[in-house]
Structure 1
Amino acid sequence: MEPNRASVKESDVDPELAALVSELNRKRIKLFVFVIGIVAGLPAGFYGARWVYQLMFPQG
């Protein structure tokens, strides 16, 4: 029976390459979290400012 190729391939990974991929993944995750924060923060900021404005200057 043939050994599982994935397990053999994983054991041959160069440590420098693994560190580089890990660093790139870390940067990608940080960028993703930053973009999600901007996308979520902009509407929250606008609605918060609107709420404060309505508290300070009530309509009607």
Structure 2
Amino acid sequence: MKVYNFDKVISRDGTYSAKYNNKGREIIPLSVADMDIPVADFMVSELSVANQKGIYGYTLLSDD
């Protein structure tokens, strides 16, 4: 099992994040489950593989 660093916080400034787009206002964004940590490396790799196929529709699970 891979260990993941949940202590590394990323800045969402300038990313049009729904959670932080109102930064500086008197608003606490409690309704948005936007993560403040980077995506795990294995997920980025798997998404890259899927992206290279160029198919973005709904699919069924395979036996693989």
Q: TM-score, normalised by structure 2?
A: 0.29
The structure with the greater share of residues assigned to helix is: 1
